[in-house]
Amino acid sequence: MDVIMLSRLQFGITIIYHFIFVPLTIGLVILVAIMETLYAKRKQEIYRKMADFWGKLFTINFALGIVTGITMEFQFGTNWSGYAKYMGDIFGSPLAIEALFAFFLESAFMGLWIFGKDRISPRLRAFAMWMVALGTNISALWIITANGFMQNPVGYVLKNGRVELSNFFELTTNPYTWYMFFHTILACYIVGSFFVMAISAYHLLRNQQSEFFQRSFRLGLILSLFATVMVPIVGHFHGVNTAKVQPAKAAAMEAIWESGKGHPFYLLQIPNVKEEKNSIETMAIPYLGSLLYTNDPHGNVTGLKDIPKENWPNVPVVFWSFRLMIGIGIIMLGLTWFGLLLLKKNRIFTNRNYLKIMLYALPLPYIAINLGWIVAEMGRQPWIVYGLMKTKEAVSPISAGEIIFSLGGLITFYTILLIADIYLLIKYAKKGPDSNLHVEEESITLTELNRRKSL
């Protein structure tokens, strides 16, 4: 492989490793903050234990996730110096704000939450965790703001052979950024909710701490009910906007070759790039293709044949990644709403088959969210900044051997971190909350019974 492909591979592997940690951090912190709030309001010890248990797992993932993100930013100078020189004025601003404001916000209040245990009030501890949640979301927003410019450049001028920021407001209100942000955050909520439900299912199948994990499962289910519905809704509007600003990506997502109005949606098709057609086209739903990308059943959709071939992304990769992401999303939506049905019938915690499925479904949101990243980033190719700079123009003048050496070290280091993360998460997830919790649960129940008797 040449320097361009090796640099892309190294950056792609870095982001995939990093993106294993980030979604759980963003998704789980919301649930921990809710648990802290419930304890502060209701003063029931079970919520204190829930926040401590899930907060411990969040802390492990949060700490290791920070390490994986540092290396990624260094690569802009080591592997992508052409990009850094051309884009530094714009790309540096959001990342600087993210580091100086969002990261310090979440880190400071994370320290308060960890070291303030038994030293600060429940309300202040709940506030601290909500500030951590706010910090993680703001951090994601500024990073996606930088990426949103790469996808849809706005608020800039070309001066002295480089891109310079001319309108900060336009940069921060970029429609692509906001669609991408909400779509990503909601997907992270699914990761967090499925994580909680999977671990809760593991303990419920073993009849361990039933009340604790039943409440945890319910909270995860509620968040998943919201997120699995909102992700496709936001994703639809994101797709419409993508078709406007990146027609090649939208066409590749559906393998649309011919431009036209009233385009159908094919449930099954295999793109044939050499012949520029689909080798299998079955079960077409009339007008749905145009509706999905224009909000108009008779809207015009640009096909790949009307786009210069040198500006095409890798159609099979984008097409199948998008299809698999959608398929997994439908499965997760079905599992969540089937869980709601069982919950209404008071059968969810006695249905061992459903609990087993939810346990083994844990990898699904991780796979889906990384497939979404592949669609977003590979669908932009061959541009690193859409319409302004191609990827081949952005690489550093380094040798392939240097990249291979650093890539090997990166994979080794990140794999060790990933193994450590998985080991620690499994260890403490299996251990469960404190063993004396069942005594506290019984005391809560007895207190409630005595209160009712007194009434």
288-333 residue pLDDT tens: 888 888 888 888 888 888 888 888 898 889 988 998 999 999 999 9
Percent of the chain past pLDDT 70, that is, above it, reads: 92
Give residue-wise pLDDT tens across range 31-60. Answer: 999 999 999 888 888 888 888 899 889 988
Confidence band of 453 (pLDDT split at 50, 70, 90)? very low
Comparing 103 with 123, the larger pLDDT belongs to 123
Distances, alpha carbon 120 to alpha carbons 48, 54, 107, 115, 295, in Å: 13, 19, 17, 9, 51
- Bridge-partner residues for 300, per DSSP? 261
From the list 313, 303, 293, 306, the residue with the least C-alpha distance to 384 is: 313
| Torsion of Cα atoms, 309 then 313 then 316 then 319, to 10° | -120
Query: pLDDT (tens digit, 9 = 90+) per residue, 168-186?
Result: 899 889 999 999 999 999 9
Q: 380: helix, coil or strand?
A: coil
Distance CA 420, CA 414 (A): 10
- Helices 363-378/3-42 angle, 10° precision: 130
**Strand 156-159 with 162-165, pairing:** antiparallel
Burial 301-324 (b: 16+ CB within 10 A, else e): bbbbeeeeeeebbebeebbbbbbb
Whether the Cβ atoms of residue 169 and residue 177 lie closer than 8 Å to each other: no
Measure the CA–CA gap between 325 and 330, rounded to whole angstroms: 9
309 secondary structure, DSSP code:
G
Residue 281 pLDDT level (bands cut at 50, 70, 90) = low
Predicted confidence (pLDDT) per residue in 9-26, tens digit: 888 888 887 788 889 989
> What is the residue extent of each domain of the chain?
3-259+302-454
Q: Residues 6 or more apart from 222 whose CB is under 8 A from it?
A: none
* pTM for the structure as a whole: 0.87
Other residues' Cβ atoms within 10 Å of the Cβ of residue 325: 22
- β-pairing, 383-385 with 389-390? antiparallel
User: What band does 260 get if pLDDT is binned at 50, 70 and 90?
Assistant: confident
Using CA atoms in the order 344, 349, 355, 359, what is the torsion angle rounded to 10 degrees? 110
